[in-house]
């Protein structure tokens, strides 16, 4: 398959590192002009340097701003007036016993993991509809379906994100704009390395710690390893392309077989 996104602009939220950075790189490799977002101009600048070094000549745009706030969202909208591809990747996670998660933390998780996607979709979807082409992709998680006992506050927000995706897909029905969510499985990022070491012996070398984590905390994974960010990005790039024109309102899995279901 030939995926050509030349002439398209993409915005990837939370794309200074991890899955977001891999998605930004994948979209740029396919020819898209890619706006990189992070909370500060400094973090975005460092990310642009890394991405530019990996893909010389890539058309990259700085879009700093904390989109969990109105002011930060306005900064991003000023930097990227319109986009053809919106990837709502920003998210936070962390382990905490369910009864210890207070109201403020519940609100913070909902603000960052759900309302940022709603806010950015609300801002950019009308322009996509007017131009009769667009892609909105929300990066969800296996935790949306298999809610982990150690972070139900995170799982609940990702469950909500699936509904957000389906609802906006209905809003865009018949317009040429598609809206989907991507259910990412346990993925190898710096943040996940820290999370793994919260749950297993910190003295273990990384390879052993990863295997122990998967064996003890994610035993239903058929892949039996953490997914690499590039593997998530591959699905996002495909769904961002004209080749995925008939796929909308879906929740597509890149989870290593973690969710025990025969449905997507």
> How long, in residues, is the chain?
264
* Assigned domain for 4 exists: no
43: its two tokens: 């973090």
Containing structural domain, residue 218:
189-226
36: its two tokens: 């990189």
pLDDT at 263: 86
198 Cβ contact list (under 8 Å, min separation 6): 95
Show which residues are catalytic: 154
Give the Cα separation of 89 and 61 in Å (integer).
17
Give the Cα separation of 211 and 240 in Å (integer).
33
Q: Are residues 222 and 232 in the same domain?
A: no
* Assigned domain for 44 exists: yes
Q: The CATH number of the domain where 180 resides is what?
A: 3.40.50.720
Q: Are residues 145 and 201 in the same domain?
A: no
Q: Are residues 201 and 72 in the same domain?
A: no
In SS3 terms, the chain reads as CCCCCCCCEEEECCCCCHHHHHHHHHHHHCCCEEEECCCCHHHHHHHHHHHHHHCCCCCEEECCCCCCCHHHHHHHHHHCCCCCEEEECCCCCCCCCHHHCCHHHHHHHHHHHHHHHHHHHHHHHHHHHHHCCEEEEEEEEHHHCCCCHHHHHHHHHHHHHHHHHHHHHHHCCCCCEEEEEEEECCECCHHHHHHHHHHCCCCCCHHHHHHHHHHHHCCCCCCCCCECHHHHHHHHHHHCCHHHCCCCCCEEEECCCCCCCCCC
pLDDT at 2: 92
Q: Are residues 107 and 209 in the same domain?
A: no
Q: Are residues 132 and 194 in the same domain?
A: no
Sequential pLDDT tens for the chain (264 residues): 899 999 999 999 999 999 999 999 999 999 999 999 999 999 999 999 999 999 999 999 999 999 999 999 999 999 999 999 999 999 999 989 999 999 999 999 999 999 999 999 999 999 999 999 999 999 999 999 999 999 999 999 999 999 999 999 999 999 999 999 999 999 998 878 888 999 999 999 999 999 999 999 989 999 988 999 999 999 999 999 999 999 999 999 999 999 999 987
108: its two tokens: 């913070």
pLDDT at 218: 87
Q: Are residues 88 and 31 in the same domain?
A: yes
**Under 8 Å between Cβ of 146 and 258:** yes
Q: Are residues 33 and 83 in the same domain?
A: yes
Q: Are residues 168 and 202 in the same domain?
A: no
Q: Are residues 63 and 165 in the same domain?
A: yes
Total number of domains constituting the chain: 2
Q: What is the pTM (predicted TM-score) of this model?
A: 0.95
Give the Cα separation of 196 and 138 in Å (integer).
24
């Amino acid at each position: 398959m030939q995926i050509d996104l030349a002439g398209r602009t993409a915005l990837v939220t939370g794309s200074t590192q991890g899955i977001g950075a891999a998605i930004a790189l994948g979209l740029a490799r396919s020819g898209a002009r890619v706006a990189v977002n992070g909370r500060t101009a400094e973090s975005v600048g460092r990310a642009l340097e890394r991405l530019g070094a990996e893909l010389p000549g890539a058309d990259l745009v700085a879009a700093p701003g904390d989109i969990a706030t109105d002011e930060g969202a306005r900064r991003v909208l000023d930097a990227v007036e319109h986009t053809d591809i919106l990837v709502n990747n920003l998210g936070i996670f962390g382990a905490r016993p369910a009864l210890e998660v207070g109201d403020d933390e519940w609100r913070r998780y909902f603000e960052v993991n759900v309302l940022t996607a709603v806010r950015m979709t609300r801002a950019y979807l009308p322009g996509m509809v007017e131009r009769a082409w667009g892609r909105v992709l929300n990066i969800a998680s296996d935790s949306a379906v298999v809610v982990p006992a150690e972070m139900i506050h995170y799982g609940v927000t990702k469950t909500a994100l699936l509904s957000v995706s389906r609802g906006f897909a209905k809003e865009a029905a018949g317009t040429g704009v598609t809206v989907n969510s991507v259910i990412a499985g346990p993925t190898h990022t710096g943040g996940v390395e820290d999370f793994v070491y919260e749950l297993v012996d910190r003295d273990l070398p990384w390879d052993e710690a990863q295997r122990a984590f998967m064996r003890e905390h994610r035993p239903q994974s058929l892949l039996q390893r953490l997914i690499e960010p590039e593997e998530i990005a591959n699905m996002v790039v495909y769904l961002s392309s004209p080749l995925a024109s008939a796929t909308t309102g879906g929740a597509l899995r890149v989870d290593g077989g973690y969710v025990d279901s025969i449905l997507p």
